[in-house]
Chains A and B, each alone.
Chain A
Amino acid sequence: MAGKTAIIASNGTLFDAYKVYNIATAAAASDHEVAIFFTFEGLNLINKEAYGQLPLPEGKEQIAEGFAKGNVPAIPELVEMAQELNVKFIGCQMTMDLFGLEKEAFVDGIDVGGAVTFLEFAKDADVTLTF
């Protein structure tokens, strides 16, 4: 492994999803070991019912056209690619409980854990990012 990247995803718009998954897949494609901790609205980015239709940030609806024209991969496609590249997904247990969501609500292959699970991974990471 060329490095280690730890990402916290805590927001749930389409913009947030691209920020998280573009960096995650680029890092994994550069042979980094990558883990993403999904917490609060960030859980939307792996929620099976939500991740295919994430909202644009308020007031930015006109950007939808740019996405359509830009040949940008859809979020479910990026998720699949990230998982193929062995990016580790960790769902935050505490916020899942708060929102009344079970593991089954999310894409397959996620781990569920608490803050310490993420910190254990992140403590010796070369790159740490929060979105």
Chain B
Amino acid sequence: MNADKVLDAKGLACPMPIVKTRKEMKELESGQILEILATDKGAKADMTAWAKSGGHELLDTQEEDGVLKFWIKKG
């Protein structure tokens, strides 16, 4: 999936992936897509909840070699 920006949050513990995602998302325009890479297992549930609460759309999630990938479209 084509992302407008990629955020590498690998190795970071809660709540850093969310804090960094918020920061990156602020820079994007509505409709643009942010790809996030994380290794914090809690991010799976947290990203879903965060996107929902902020009115964004979680387009897809994948897991590859212990790295979680998220694609979120800015609402």
Are both chains from one complex? yes
Binding site for B on A (CB under 8 A): 2, 22, 25-26, 29-31, 70-73, 81, 85
Report the Cα distance A22→B18, complex, angstroms.
Answer: 11
What are the residues of chain A within 8 A of B59 when measuring CB–CB? none
- Give chain B's interface residues, CB within 8 Å of chain A: 11-16, 18-19, 21-22, 46, 50, 53-54
Knowing A2-B53, A29-B22, A30-B50 are in contact, say whether A71-B15 is a contact too (CB < 8 A).
no
Using known A-B contacts A2-B53, A2-B54, determine if residue A29 contacts B13 with beta carbons closer than 8 Å: no
Given A29-B50, A30-B50, A31-B54, are A22 and B12 also a contact pair (CB < 8 Å)? Answer: no
- What's the least CB distance linking A80 to chain B, in Å? 11
Residues in B neighbouring A73, C-beta threshold 8 A: 13, 16
A30: which B residues are within 8 A, CB to CB?
A: 18, 22, 50, 53-54
Chain B min CB distance to A89 (Å) = 17
The answer to whether A25 and B15 touch across the interface, beta carbons within 8 angstroms, is yes
Which residues in A have their C-beta under 8 angstroms from that of B54?
2, 30-31
Give min CB distance, B7 to chain A, whole Å.
13
What's the nearest-Cβ distance from chain B to residue A29, in Å?
4
Which residue of chain A lies nearest to B13 when distances are taken between CB atoms in the complex? Answer: A72
Shortest Cβ distance from B30 into chain A, in angstroms? 15
Contact in complex: B15, A26 (CB < 8 Å)? yes
Shortest CB–CB separation between residue A21 and chain B, in angstroms?
Answer: 9
Taking the closest CB of chain A, its distance from the CB of B23, in whole angstroms, is 8
Query: Among the listed A2, A29, A70, A71, which residue makes an inter-chain contact with B18, where contact means beta carbons less than 8 Å apart?
Result: A29
Neighbouring A residues of B50 by C-beta, 8 Å: 29-30
Q: Contact between B53 and A81 (Cβ–Cβ < 8 Å)?
A: no
CB distance from B21 to the nearest CB of A (A): 8
